[in-house]
Amino acid sequence: MPPTRITSQETRRLFGPVNRPAFDTNVRHRALLRKAIELFRQEVLIAIFGQPIKLRLAMGLAFTSGQFGKIKTNYVENDRLVSRETQALELEAREQLGRYRDRYDAYFKSRGNNYDIRDPNALAGLQAAEQDWHDWVVVYLEELYGIIGRPDWALQPLPGLQMVRFTPGQVQASVARTRTRLPPTPPPSSPVRPRKMKFLGVVDISDDEDEQPLRKKTKVFIDLTL
């Protein structure tokens, strides 16, 4: 049985050799993040993030439900805070991810770094949610990107669950192919304005704080329809 807590080996098993979640994300965040990662072509993630590490998922709380499923990262480079993120998921994908989240929360506890079980009777529901996600995402990826099959890491089950079943005509990532291969989207080149760290927060600064007004933060988007 796979480990029941976060380890380096478990992270590689669930995220593959390239993508990495932020180190301080819990098991619930990671379970949802890996589903969202699957909805983007790997070359697009590399174009946005460079090396896709320290990734986080926008949870879409309160009045930001439309942001649910965005993948983002923040890091400091040359004394500047750099923020990068994907485009928002379309409604169909957000709803599918939300249904999976609800089944996850019914079986596993939502906090902590261990896969602690909340309700053993909800296991069948989460297993069904894994199958529903699989059946939906193989069609989604084929229709949107022309990608056949899922990555091997995406097929790895969470602790206590079984690998999904393949219906006739579905193939694993080991024999996956793409009908259309587009060149990678070039990395974003928009300048990121300087920021300074103040205690635990981050505040915008201008060249002259006394005279120049604050400017709005610029976000970088990558067109995923290429």
How many Cα atoms sit within 13 Å of 31 on the Cβ side? 30
With respect to residue 14, please indicate whether it lies within any of the assigned structural domains. Answer: yes
- Identify the band that residue 75 occupies on the pLDDT scale cut at 50, 70 and 90: confident
User: How would residue 195 be classed by pLDDT, with cut points 50, 70 and 90?
Assistant: very low
Whether residue 1 lies inside any domain: the answer is no
Q: Is 220 inside any structural domain?
A: no
Q: What is the pTM of this model?
A: 0.73
Query: What does the pLDDT look like over 103-136, one tens digit per residue?
Result: 999 999 999 899 999 999 999 999 999 999 999 9
pLDDT in tens, 18-74: 999 999 999 999 999 999 999 999 999 999 999 899 999 999 876 678 899 999 999
Residue 165 within a domain: yes
Task: Please report the pLDDT score of residue 21 as a whole number.
Answer: 97
Q: Is residue 70 part of a domain?
A: yes
CA distance 98 to 35: 11
Q: What does the alpha-carbon distance between residue 215 and residue 27 come to, in Å, rounded to a whole number?
A: 36
Residue 85's SS3 state is strand
Domain encompassing residue 118: 8-178
DSSP string, 131-151: HHHHHHHHHHHHHHH-EES--
CB 141 within 8 A of CB 151: no
Q: Does residue 198 lie in a domain region? A: no
What is the number of structural domains in the chain? 1
Residue 211 lies inside a defined structural domain of this protein: no
Q: What pLDDT score was predicted for residue 126?
A: 98
